[in-house]
Chains A and B, each alone.
Chain A
Amino acid sequence: MTNEELKAKLTGINSALTFEEGGQWLNVNVEPKDWLPFAKELRENPELNFDYMFCLTCVDWKTHLGMVYHLNSKNLKHIIVVKSKLDRNNPEIETISHIWRTAEFHEREVYDLFGVTFLHHPDLRRLLLTDEWVGWPLRKDYEDPVNMIKL
């Protein structure tokens, strides 16, 4: 499907979605509470058939945290980017590790470095850092007086 067709199709599924265009891929903004049913639809709808998640990451915008999911359909050869804004003080979103299995480790990494809580994740604990680490190093306001030299 082209970006225009995808946009029409997705609007039919959830009318609350907003879109950003102009890039190579269609960007979809979704509310965190709508994310889980929407993700299921993206995976299971035969016309969408997003069977491969090739990137899951988070961005600290200082005002909020933004989750970014890159989804690809190997059969239908189309790609979308799904974004979701989270509250910076209490970032919570449903896990999608049972929909795309690769998300299990990606979500652990995001939890490790940004402190996003993925609800109902099977094994949410530190991945790269030590278990006793305090804080979320990739947040913009992270301070470490021992190891960091501020410029």
Chain B
Amino acid sequence: MFGLGKKKEKPDPFPGQRLETAGGGILISQLDDVVNWARSNSLWPLVFGTSCCAIEMMSTAGAKYDWSRFGWEVARATPRQADVIIIAGTIVNKMAPVLKRLYDQMADPKYVIAMGACATSGGPFFYNTYSVVKGADHVIPVDVYIAGCPPRPEALMHAMLTLQKKIKSGAPREKIQIAEWNAA
């Protein structure tokens, strides 16, 4: 099901690839790699779902898709213990300040996944709607976007793996993209 027709990727060895940086000490950069490796494999999502994407998210957490295989273990009901917030659903004007407060209450480092059309752009509610925020990134910064309405669990898992890759690299999104272009 995953990586069908693709070359199988070798998993990153512990503590991950070390990037040569100007002025960066070897010990520091290795420690960063270890920290990033640990962070990426123990992401605790916040229990947050505002519409039908949440059903797909729950399915991903359930026995069939089982996101704990990737270290996405315990969903926390309080933002103070969560590392990542999956915006699973429509954000309306009334919900936007609540989302902002939840994000502010989360401890650093914190990550955001915008799941589905509503969270990325307003989706089906982009036109002729008085109440919907046209994309959750108007409220909080987003790390990974998922297309779909709602996206299937496979798509959410792909986003999770993408976020893990991003954390492991320790680099912003643009840098990862350039590295992928160079590798291709």
Contact = CB atoms under 8 A, between A and B. Distances in A.
Interface in A93-151: 137, 142, 144, 147-151
A148 B93 contact: no
Q: Which of A137, A149, A151 has the most CB of B within 10 A?
A: A149
Contacts, number: 19
Contact of B131 (A137, A149, A150, A151): A137
Interface residues of A, number: 8
A137 B127 contact: no
A151 B127 CA distance: 6
A151 B129 CA distance: 10
A149 B130 contact: no
Contacts of A150: 127-128
A137 B130 contact: yes
B168 interface: no
A99 to B, nearest CB: 31
19 contacts: A137-B130, A137-B131, A142-B130, A144-B130, A147-B93, A147-B129, A147-B130, A147-B131, A148-B128, A148-B129, A148-B130, A149-B126, A149-B127, A149-B128, A149-B134, A150-B127, A150-B128, A151-B127, A151-B128
Closest CB pairs A-B (n = 3) = A151-B127, A144-B130, A137-B130
Given A137-B131, A142-B130, A147-B129, 7 more contacts: A147-B93, A147-B131, A148-B128, A148-B130, A149-B134, A150-B127, A151-B127
